[in-house]
Amino acid sequence: MNNIRNFSIIAHIDHGKSTLADRMIQLCGMVSDREFKNQLLDSMDIERERGITIKSQTICLPYKARDGKQYLLNLVDTPGHVDFSYEVSRALSSCEGALLLVDASQGVEAQTLANLYLAMENDLEIIPVLNKIDLPAADPDTVAFQIEEDLGLDGENIIRCSAKTGEGVDEVLEAIVNHLPPPEGDSKAPLEALIFDASYDAFRGTIISCRIFQGMIKAGDTIIFMSNGASYKVEEVGWFDLKRTPRKSLQAGEIGYIIAGVKTVSDTRPGDTITLKDRPCAAALPGFQEIKQVVFSSLYPISTDEYENLATAIEKLKLNDAALTYQKDSSSALGFGFRCGFLGLLHLEVVQERLEREFDIPLILTVPSVNYHFYLNDDSLLEVDNPAYFPDPTLLKGTEEPFIKASILIPERYMGAVMNLCMERRGENTNYHYPTPGRIEFTCEIPLAEIIYDFYDKLKSITQGYGSFDYELLDYRPSDLVKLDILVNGERVDALAQLVHRSKARERGLHACDKLKEEIPRQMFKIAIQAAIGGNIIARTTISALRKDVTAKCYGGDITRKRKLLEKQKAGKKRMKTVGNVDIPQNAFLAVLKSDQ
């Protein structure tokens, strides 16, 4: 056990986590230089494009250190986005240490801080690493000072490297061996294994990623999940090399995988404890929580005959995404679809993109909503995450909405703008402090619903990209909610309805009308767009009728081009949903939530 090190890398998006991981893989000789492809660890397209990881990935690196001994370094790669902070905390708790990777030209970001605190809560040993020292804009001394002074980390241990050029990466590996403690545990004790992730394999079912804290596990053992008592027979255990490598057993201190005939990823819960049926441990490992979806939206296929395909696609997606929930839904405007729950807006967008990209199903997502509490006159509580189920206002005694605590890290000069933004978004109890001279960590309690309404975009634009943001759920607080309906040519489009705070209703209504006017192409008749609360129209706009096209020259040489233009126009129309007789493009449904860029 003394030659094992379990560690994770904490980094902000773009600070070079994947590149560093790839370099380490290369230095440990696991791939030849020819095979060395950038960013091996982030495997999904969408993740790579957005520079985010939504699932943990683990790799076990065989490393011969300068002391001449052979070590096993288990790198647990964690999701890097605020929507997935519970997953991050479970992955971190499987490790003894973490690299805090900071871009030497950018300094520490809010996201990094949040994950660093998570690591500290889990008593992890931290090795600060300054990356991108090869960049002309790099200012390692200032950033090192920031790390030492503000984060209270030992400046002695800061390593400087460039994952891109490879400079200093061997020092990082040495530090892992020398500064991180080896795992502790007793292989003879009853089994205590922590599930920190699971992924789906079409042939083997669920592959459980876990950390063995106590005891050992081998093929043939009967295990139980302590959260729900489900029991399974272990088929295979092993390590994560670049692929899975079966082992006779996994021992205390090790990180590896278990295959045990678990059908779907949803049958496992990150943070759950696995033990042996015959010889269970006394208590589950601490920190387990049920996953909580916070954003809800309905998914509809644009073409109604794709419903079955969508059902199959969601089912498949769910195999590998335990955080996604879904149930049947229907809308008078859009037909049959699914009401889905997501960890956050990013999770929602990732799911949408995967459905469209991997399953080729053009979708409409309805305006995202949070989960509201409604107290009725008979004192019963109704939880509603779908505007369609907004109760009759005359039966309502009170409403509550979820609040979050937002922490925003910004250069000082943006303080005023950010404070304004938070006030506009009904923020309360604002607070701030200076983690470093010139930088402010601003905290504020804000309704979650205000965050899903274009908050990220706004924050980014008012801070010119310098603001970073993280949040945690707080509690439910009294609110005054109304249902904002959108009517297109007099017809209520249920998929465009939103629940909003009364004080925001008019503003949102105007915004929705404007956005729809931008998004809905002119058609051969006039289109009236109205926003209403109950029977009251609070905002309106019209899209004038299309009265002419440009019909230019069309001769032999350009018949093909003309035809292709028309075909494109036709294909565009196919991606629209016809409500009444108005064609509404797919984008319109989410656009009502987005701000003007």
Q: Interface residues with other proteins (CB under 8 A)?
A: 524, 546-557, 559-560, 563, 566-567, 569-570, 573
Min separation Cβ 307 and other proteins, Å: 21
Tokens representing 445 are 């309690």
Cα atoms in the 13 Å half-sphere on the side-chain side of 137: 4
Whether the CB-CB separation of 470 and 406 falls below 8 Å is answered with: yes
Q: Which is nearer to other proteins, 137 or 550 (CB)?
A: 550
Instruction: Rank residues 36 and 525 by Cβ distance to other proteins and give the closer one.
Output: 525
Q: Which of 238, 284, 257 minimizes the C-alpha distance to 197?
A: 257
Nearest in space to 578 (alpha carbons), one of 485, 486, 488, 484: 488
Minimum Å gap between C-beta 542 and other proteins is 15
Q: How far is the CB of 492 from other proteins (least distance, A)?
A: 24
Q: What is the distance between the alpha carbons of residues 199 and 26, in angstroms, rounded to a whole number?
A: 25
What is d(CA 256, CA 59) in angstroms, rounded to the nearest whole number?
9
Looking at the Cβ atoms of 423 and 559, the one nearer to other proteins is: 559
Minimum CB distance to other proteins smaller for 233 or for 563: 563
Residue number with CB closer to other proteins (282 or 524)? 524
Distance of alpha carbon 583 from alpha carbon 580, whole angstroms:
8
Shortest spacing between CB 583 and other proteins, in angstroms: 11
Nearest of 533, 534, 515 to residue 593 by alpha carbon: 515
Closest CA to 291 of 514, 28, 85: 85
Q: What is the crossing angle of helices 345-359 and 307-319, to 10°?
A: 120
**Cβ of residue 540: shortest distance to other proteins, in angstroms?**
22
Residue 493 C-beta: closest distance to other proteins, Å: 22
Q: Could you give the angle at which helices 415-424 and 455-462 cross, rounded to 10 degrees?
A: 160
- Minimum distance, C-beta of residue 581 to other proteins, in the bound complex (Å): 10
Measured from the CB atom, the residue of 405 and 562 that comes closer to other proteins is 562
CB closer to other proteins out of 534 and 557: 557
Q: What are phi and psi of 78, to 5 degrees?
A: -105, 155
**Measured between alpha carbons, how far is 516 from 542 in angstroms, rounded to an integer?**
10
Closest approach of other proteins to the CB of residue 576, in Å: 12
What type of residue sits at position 524? M
Nearer to other proteins, 263 or 573 (CB): 573
Residue 560 Cβ vs other proteins, minimum distance, rounded to whole Å: 6
Cβ-based nearer residue to other proteins, 202 or 524: 524
Return the percent helix, strand and coil in the chain, to nearest 5.
30, 35, 35
State the nearest-atom distance from the C-beta of 561 to other proteins, in Å. 10
Pick the closer one to other proteins by CB: 34 or 570.
570
CB atoms within 10 A of CB 29: 11
| Phi (first) and psi of residue 454, to 5 degrees | 45, 25
Phi first, then psi: give them for residue 461, nearest 5 degrees. Answer: -75, -40
Note the helical H segments in 303-380.
Answer: 307-319, 345-359
426-447: b or e for each residue (b if 16 or more CB lie within 10 Å)? Answer: bbeebebeebbeebbbbbbbbb
CB of 316 to other proteins, least distance (A): 33
Our CB check for other proteins shows the closer of 380 and 581 to be 581
